[in-house]
Amino acid sequence: MIVTKIETPFRQFLENLKVPKSPNGEGGTLFSPDDINYLTRNSSASVYEFKQENETDQEFYETFVKWLHEEVPSHNYYVEAYLIVYLRRNEYLSTDTFRYLSQNVPECFGKNRVWLSEVNHRMRFRLRIQLIRCLKNDFTCLIKRKIHRT
């Protein structure tokens, strides 16, 4: 497994995360402008990319989980975490793989939620995962949202 820390400015990275148009559906962005504003406001973020190298799919997921347990610091802050799993065309996470990830990934983030998105629009030979972590520095349970009328 190859691990790379993505150094692109966080807002720019989120704005460029797009799902291209596929023959069966429309493309679009992964995060709405409101989501991007929420994730970038008062947070320290990190983005990592994991690429499958010379291992089986199961070994890749196991190595990813092992990396999470070793490298993700435990803390008492609120964290927004997103896993974007890039699969091969017309593939989906199997029930067993999803169960494995759902049992082993969330425990690295305490009681915080982890969102998983599957993207499978291109011919790929290797699996890829992007991990987005936003540590919310001054998280409050009530957030004021401004709605602009047009």
Question: Average per-residue pLDDT in the chain?
Answer: 83
Q: Which two tokens stand for residue 117?
A: 């998105």
Q: Can you give the pLDDT at residue 117? A: 87
Q: What sign for the dihedral angle of Cα 50, 53, 57, 62?
A: negative
Percent of the chain scoring above 90 in pLDDT: 33
Instruction: Determine contact, residues 7/112, Cβ cutoff 8 Å.
Output: no
Residue 145 forms part of a structural domain: no
- R_g (Cα) of the chain, nearest Å: 16
| Mean pLDDT for the stretch of residues 92-105 | 91
Q: What is the CATH number of the domain that holds 110?
A: 3.30.1330
Structural domain of 97: 2-136
When divided into structural domains, the chain yields a total of 1
Distances (CA, A) of 134 to 116, 139, 150: 15, 11, 31
* pLDDT tens digits, 5-63: 999 999 999 998 877 665 566 667 888 889 898 888 888 889 999 999 999 999 999 99
Residue 143 forms part of a structural domain: no
| Mean pLDDT for the stretch of residues 67-84 | 81
Residue 144 forms part of a structural domain: no
Neighbouring CB atoms inside 10 A of 2's CB total 10
Residue 142 forms part of a structural domain: no
The DSSP result for the chain, as a single string, is -EEEE--S-HHHHHHH-EE--BTTB--EESS-HHHHHHHHTTEEEEEEEEE--SS-HHHHHHHHHHHHHHHSPP-SSEEEEEEEEE--TT----HHHHHHHHHHSGGGGTTS-EEEEEE--S--SS-EEEEEEEEETT--S---------
pLDDT band at 90 (very low <50, low <70, confident <90, very high): confident
Q: Which two tokens stand for residue 103?
A: 């049992």
Q: Can you give the pLDDT at residue 119? A: 84
